[in-house]
A = this chain, B = another copy of it.
Amino acid sequence: MNNREQQVGYVLKQAQSLLRLRMEEALNPLALTVSQYSCLHHLLREPGISAAGLARATFMTRQSMSSMLQQLLDRRLVERPARPESGRVLPTALTAAGVDLLSAAQAEVNGVEERMLSGLSPSERTSLTRGLSACVKALGG
C-alpha cells in the first residue's frame, strides 16, 4: 500500500488539520476563528502580554497578530492602552466581554479535544503528549 500515509509527519499534519477543522466548525457560531480563539486563550493566561509575545505563543508573525488584534479591539473583546507605559510595548488584555466569549469558546474546544482523545486511555494520552513534546524539543522549539 501507500507507505508515506503511515509516516509520522503525514499523520501529524492530518491530525492537526482535522483538529483545526473541527475547532473551526465548533467556533463558527461564536463568530471566532481558531486563530482568534488561540489569541484570547493565551491572553487569559498571560494578561498584559505584548503583541509580539502573543504572536510567538500562537505561531504567527507579529504583523498578522497586529491586524488580528485590531479586529478584536473593534469588537471590544480586548483592550490596550493608547500609549505605552514604558518602552514600546502595548500590554494587551481581555475585556469582560472577551472573558465571557472565551468561556463559551473554551467549552466548545474542550468538547472537540475530548472527542479527539476519546479512543485513547489516560496513559495513552500522556504518552501522546510526551511524544509530541519530544518532537518539539528535538526540532528546537
The interface of chain A, by Cβ under 8 A from chain B, is 2-4, 6-9, 11-19, 21-22, 41-42, 45-46, 59, 109, 112-113, 115-120, 124-125, 127-129, 131-141
Whether B117 pairs with A15 at a CB distance below 8 angstroms is no
Closest chain-B Cβ to A92's Cβ sits at a distance in Å of 17
A4-B41, A16-B16, A41-B4 known; A116+B129 contact, CB < 8 A? no
Q: A12-B16, A119-B135, A120-B135 are in contact. List 20 more A-B contacts (CB 8 A).
A: A2-B45, A3-B45, A4-B45, A7-B129, A8-B113, A9-B109, A9-B113, A11-B129, A11-B136, A14-B59, A18-B141, A21-B139, A112-B139, A118-B138, A119-B137, A119-B138, A124-B127, A127-B131, A128-B131, A131-B131
15 A–B contacts from the bound complex (CB under 8 Å): A3-B45, A4-B45, A7-B129, A8-B117, A9-B113, A11-B129, A13-B19, A13-B59, A16-B16, A18-B136, A119-B134, A119-B138, A120-B134, A127-B131, A131-B131
Contact pick for A13, options B11, B16, B131, CB 8 Å:
B16
